[in-house]
A and B are shown apart, each in its own frame.
Chain A
Amino acid sequence: MKKSPAPYVSTTNACKLCKPMGACLAFRGIEGTVPFLHGSQGCATYMRRYIISHYREPMDIASSSLGEKHAVYGGEANLKQGLQNVMAKYGAGLIGIATTCLTETIGDDVPMIVRAFRKEMGEAVRSEAIPSLVNVATPSYSGTHMEGFQAAVRAVADQLADLRERTEAVNLMPGFVSPADLRYLKEILQDFGLKGIILPDLSETLDGPAAQDYEKIPPGGTPIQQIRNMGGSRATVELGRTLSKSATAGKLVEERFGVPLHGVGMPIGLRETDGFFQILEEIRGVPTPEKHRAERGRLIDAYVDGHKYVSEKRAVVYGEEDLVVGLTAFLVEIGIQPVLCASGGRSGHFREAIEEVTRDILPLTPLVREGVDFYELAEEAETLSPELLVGHSKGYHLAKRWNIPLVRVGFPIHDRFGGQRILHLGYRGAQHLLDRIVNALIEKKQADSPVGYGYI
């Protein structure tokens, strides 16, 4: 029996980011949107820097720039002025307003301020000359960036979705995945002949082409008109096992408009992807297109070929809960032994989800830790002699200390090139992950060996 981690007071080297950052990312995935933080300007600057260093793309976040005076007397005037300035210069279709710890602590009533602002704008609102305004409460002292992300998605659905006409579209809430993942999801939907409303869709807005004509707000993102008719879609698919146990946008759309919801795990690895494809088959009433079946076949072939390199290897996996659940599902399939599954998040459903995805294969559930930081993670993992780390860049120091490979996935990745193009999802994503993991282990073997293996 392993001892439980010491109950530390400090969070040392956190394995989570703050809530409004997640909200800003989600807002960025909606067409013509400027994310707006109600608080003092530092939070916006910090988050922009973090997001930009991962995606290597522009990322604007406006701020109401509160000073001490406003911190004491409230930020209403600043928020209104800020909205007006963003409108004047950006031609935004939507402004996504997230609160910060500052404005949550002083208790600014943002929905009320936004209502008052709309009223003051009067005519302009009716003529739709002003952008839609969506607001979400994101105090970081409860929850992580993932909760912020999901809260923003839900707020968008809550404040914009409607039922204008019944359509054959499918709402897809992918969660926080890479632009490469999103492009691939779109391809799958298209191959199924499904029209998808993907909320949010960062595939173009945070991985855009070098522009010839620069645009202030990058093109792409979920079209607002489509969001406005999410209530008319034939179904909603939501990715993420822990997510499905909380209040989500999908549930809201189901309750309000009767759109049936399918909650599935993040489709990482064979089994979770099978589940996802099954749902699509069900919704569309057609079998999985040949192209994807072939990809599945090749994946299984690779599972067999790669097995000798990865079998029984001991891995530590960390990151956002649903990502870790998906990765764990995949790792156990290929024969890797996840000795520790860890997350900075604390949804309360993490262990259960890990159990669900491992019980067919493992006799015992791997060690699961929620709400951890890297200090605890290191302490815990030290005794487990891991041979591989799977997670984002913040685990690099541990990889270095233990002299084991780190296969980078998720966010943030700021010590490698191309983080936004990492494919995690589906048969194809599993193929990529498998290749990368096998090669990382081979490289390590070569590096450690005096023999100089040329064939391996």
Chain B
Amino acid sequence: MSSICEEKLNLEEETEGVDPEVLKKELLEKYPTKVARKRAKQIVVNKLASCSEGLEIGANVRTTPGIITQRGCTYAGCKGVILGPTRDIVNITHGPIGCGFYSWLTRRNQTRPPTENDENFMTYCFSTDMQDKDIVFGGEKKLKAAIQEAYDLFKPKAISIFSTCPVGLIGDDVHAVAREMREALGINVFGFSCEGYKGVSQSAGHHIANNGIFTHVVGLDDSVKEGKYKINLLGEYNIGGDAFEIDRVLEKCGITVVSTFSGNSTYDQFANAHTADLNTVMCHRSINYVAEMMEEKFGIPWIKINFIGAEATAKSLRKIAHYFQDQELSDRVEAVIAEEMPEILKVREEVRPRCQGKTAMLFVGGSRAHHYQELFKEMGMKTISAGYEFAHRDDYEGRKVLPTIKVDADSRNIEELEVTPDPERFRPRKSPEELERLAQEGFEFKDYEGMMRDMDNQALVIDDISQYETEKLLEIYKPSIFCAGIKEKYVVQKQGIPLKQLHSYDYGGPYAGFKGAVNFYQEIDRMVNSKVWNSLKAPWQKSPELSAKYACD
């Protein structure tokens, strides 16, 4: 066996010598046997791809009751994540008040209506606020009236309905209501059966939302946008203005974004998405199936890209240029990269001496825990442990495992759409010869190899990490920084370790693209080198002699 396979994790001095296998055992120790068995599959000590075939991880399985998880519900994934950032659809939550209230513009996805008069409903939170009698006698009537009312008040282009847990149980048919109201009002009205209990996590909700948009909206508007190189940006949610920065860079390169799913998005963009010539996928987890379906139905191929990290951004731009096979575009992309890079390198060199060798842990989302490792690497920091909140095995191990993923009852809950080529709109974007040529040049479509491949030997990969495991991990590994969400933030910081939120960015950002990389370097430098952590202990606690002296006085 080659020595590289035995390579140990490069940890900071004080944690040197912690064997991840031993740590794994410790994490599992306190669990009842059955739970421990289940968690054992979801905690994996990474091995380099060249050293091991088929390292497998348990993912997308239900969280055990009583184990405090980061995960949210199907409704949250559907209403909050996917349709939250779309500004001109009136989203009505059908259910009791809480679910709607909690998903009321709490994420910081930004939107930029072109003028003040353009519709923006993102600051609104509409709910049928079900009461006792709706639960007993059914809520369809109320829902209809609510849709009518929303129409009368706002005259939106479209109205969508989101079902919360009680809705499915009392048997309200939101789709029938949607159909009826669509006819009555003459605007697009569609419903989502995204009851919170339906799936394992918010991932199920992403799927339900995207299926709905694909079925009810994509393809409705055939007008063709101007632009030579037209792409869709899939799985980018404009947290902290990420999409604005990506748009800036793409525009500079002369690439036209037809639609973004769904950061800073509008109904019309979705309706028009099928006119793009390439789908680029940011967050593989939340949207790869839409890319697949768009290819099936409209002939648009897809590639995986990543705009988190300056190098990754450059690589992604080059890949898009490569796809279009156009020297003019390639030249322009190179010019943009050359123009943007110096500033980035300058800041990187500045922070590097202070950050070099520090360690990071990332437990978040369905792609961010992977993408952000790039940025840390650029700063000279090491990711020693990471995992997703709601991703599936393919996001860890790569798409090659797709055929082997077991379909369980929870996954069956989500409708698989039957997609066939659209008789009028299907148009292969590349001829077989062109595809052949691209393949020869080493160009890969649908290329996602997962997070584990990019991680170090012996790094600990943990799916759906629990509160308890987080605490243990911190105690033993003492990373320089921990990345997760607001729910974890204060638990981690109480222990003297800074936490960077990668859901809301702590209301900072953007961190995508070129400008984003600079922001991120500076932010992480500030956090890991902050002096405040030294003050956790009062001076008399730090030096025992001193307090002893006071005690004698």
Contact = CB atoms under 8 A, between A and B. Distances in A.
Contacts of B467: 60
B126 A10 contact: yes
A211 B63 contact: no
B370 interface: no
Interface stretch (A35-43, A149-157, A230-238, A332-340): A35-43
A248 B148 CA distance: 40
Given A48-B487, A58-B490, A212-B536, A101 B164 contact: yes
B197 A67 contact: yes
Interface stretch (A85-93, A115-123, A271-279, A287-295): A85-93
Interface stretch (B97-105, B111-119, B279-287): B97-105
A62 B32 contact: no
A102 B489 contact: no
Interface string B483-501: 0011101110111100000
Contacts, number: 230
Count class of interface residues, chain B? 35 or more
A10 B169 contact: no
Nearest to B494: A211
B263 interface: no
Contacts of B166: 101-102, 105, 141
A130 to B, nearest CB: 13
B124 A88 contact: no
Interface stretch (A68-76, A188-196, A239-247, A260-268): A68-76
Interface string A23-62: 0000000000000100111111111111011001111111
Interface stretch (A11-19, A299-307, A349-357): A11-19
A364 interface: no
Contacts of B65: 62-65, 78-79, 81-82, 85
Contacts of B69: 41, 45, 63, 65
Contacts of B410: 67-68
B131 interface: yes
Given A11-B129, A85-B64, A85-B66, A39 B165 contact: yes
Given A57-B490, A212-B537, A17 B66 contact: no
A21 interface: yes
Contacts of A441: none
A148 to B, nearest CB: 10
Contacts of B495: 211, 214
B186 to A, nearest CB: 20
A210 interface: yes
A101 B95 contact: yes
B413 interface: yes
Given A88-B31, A105-B166, A141 B486 contact: no
Contact of A46 (B64, B98, B541): B98
A446 B64 CA distance: 56
A83 B135 contact: no
Contact of A140 (B67, B98, B196): B98
A417 B49 CA distance: 46
B72 A45 contact: yes
Contact of A142 (B102, B132, B169, B486): B132
B68 A68 contact: no
B132 A141 contact: yes
Nearest to B468: A89
A9 interface: yes
A53 B108 CA distance: 13
A20 interface: yes
Interface of B: 30-32, 35, 62-76, 92, 95-104, 106, 123-132, 134-135, 142, 145-146, 148-150, 164-166, 168-170, 195-198, 200, 202, 409-410, 413, 467-468, 471, 485-487, 489-491, 493-496, 536-537, 541
Which 10 residue pairs across A and B have the least CB separation, nearest first?
A42-B73, A18-B98, A85-B66, A82-B66, A82-B65, A46-B102, A11-B129, A140-B96, A42-B196, A40-B197
Given A79-B65, A140-B97, 20 more contacts: A9-B145, A12-B124, A14-B101, A18-B96, A40-B197, A42-B165, A45-B73, A50-B102, A52-B489, A58-B494, A63-B69, A64-B66, A65-B66, A67-B62, A71-B197, A82-B65, A101-B95, A141-B135, A212-B541, A216-B468
Interface of A: 8-14, 16-21, 36, 39-50, 52-53, 56-71, 78-79, 81-86, 88-89, 100-102, 105-106, 139-142, 144, 208, 210-212, 214, 216, 397
